[in-house]
Structure 1
């Protein structure tokens, strides 16, 4: 397959997925523990929530130039941009999940002799899972839409870059192919998260 501008469709798709999934994985590994701890401890929340609330409403391109100056034009700046887009939805969902837990669940665990750590892992974490997965699906969607912005600057590969570059030359065939790939991939990624959610929390929605 000839592809576009010297790279095959598979190469463009692979480069975009590496950027997206790397950023999403970093967001999951950091935002879930920070979010759960922030919901559990007001002191930790006081440290992280102002930071999250500061950069959450900022448009990605507003600080992308700074990331390029600090991290260069390679994948590092693009992954960091996607990471900053993916972090807030997961963090907010985790905090909301902890805050939504009924107080008698926690008090019941303490009454039965559970420590704070045991209560966290056996009561707070399982009860927060529905909110966590909602945040994961929202986060992945935000990161995917930001991927196009990440590939607008100093990129020579990626589905987002391919669509934007093809638009300059009115290559509607390439544009349609890129849009279809992004749409189908978005649906598949969301479906995968939904399947994982069903397996992790099979009790959700059941009486």
Structure 2
């Protein structure tokens, strides 16, 4: 029986995850209800749940909770869409031509390690405090990981695969569309996962600096009034949405690229 259980790869992993979550909830419930920790610093699960219900019913600062969620997701998806439209084609070109790469690589490598808030002040000065500056900041955050993963993937395309296509009379455009791009797509999706994580963290930081709506703004504003229950609601919502996005992408990877990482 034990051997059969081990052979099932998913059940043990999911079981461990479920036990971990249950243990964290149990420790949280016991420690807060027995007053081991001040509720200001760590509210009880019951108070967090009640705060969540209150936000659903009344919203926050007169704005419905779903409006805050939509505003945050709008900024996120718009920036990711623009990054995909620009970073992937440019990354393919830079992967093909070392001269084009020499033009853009120093620029991207210069700003990539910089903390987003370091240059966000400039974006606010140039574009204002509305969504333009936030989308620009998120776009820059998503662009770098997508660009780097695309360039690296293009450079790893086997040369014999390209030579075989040329020997069969394929044009440069057909090689690009039918050989290079499909070969790079798994790595591009992986880069998108990384970009979503970086961009999501940057979104929260941007909303905490200059915003009047969004989940990040709720967390910051609630912390000013020591509403730790609302802060925890915002944190849990952000984490849950991030897990949902990543799970959708991983599911797509398993369905479309099940062969990746497997040997013949």
TM-score in terms of structure 1 length: 0.95
- Partner of 1:174 in structure 2? 230
User: Structure 2: how far apart are the matches of 1:122 and 1:198?
Assistant: 21
Matches within 5 A, 1:33-112: 33-112=89-168
List alignment gaps of at least 5 residues for structure 2. Answer: 1-56
Name the Cα RMSD after superposition. Answer: 1.3
User: Structure 2: how far apart are the matches of 1:134 and 1:42?
Assistant: 23
- Partner of 1:4 in structure 2? 60
1:136 aligns with 2:192: yes
- Kindly indicate whether the alpha-carbon contact (under 8 Å) linking 1:85 and 1:142 is maintained by their aligned counterparts in 2: yes
Q: CA deviation at 1:198?
A: 3.7
1:16 aligns with 2:72: yes
1:162 aligns with 2:204: no
- Kindly indicate whether the alpha-carbon contact (under 8 Å) linking 1:101 and 1:124 is maintained by their aligned counterparts in 2: yes
Length, aligned pairs only: 207
- Partner of 2:206 in structure 1? 150
User: Structure 1: how far apart are the matches of 2:141 and 2:231?
Assistant: 24
1:201 aligns with 2:257: yes
Q: CA deviation at 1:200?
A: 4.0
Relative contact order (C-alpha < 8 Å, sep 6+): which is higher? 1
TM-score in terms of structure 2 length: 0.75
User: Structure 2: how far apart are the matches of 1:35 and 1:190?
Assistant: 23
User: Structure 1: how far apart are the matches of 2:162 and 2:133?
Assistant: 41
Q: CA deviation at 1:107?
A: 1.1
Secondary structure in 1 aligned to 2:58? Answer: coil
User: Structure 2: how far apart are the matches of 1:196 and 1:145?
Assistant: 23
- Kindly indicate whether the alpha-carbon contact (under 8 Å) linking 1:129 and 1:201 is maintained by their aligned counterparts in 2: no
User: Structure 2: how far apart are the matches of 1:197 and 1:74?
Assistant: 35
List alignment gaps of at least 5 residues for structure 1. Answer: none
Larger radius of gyration: 2
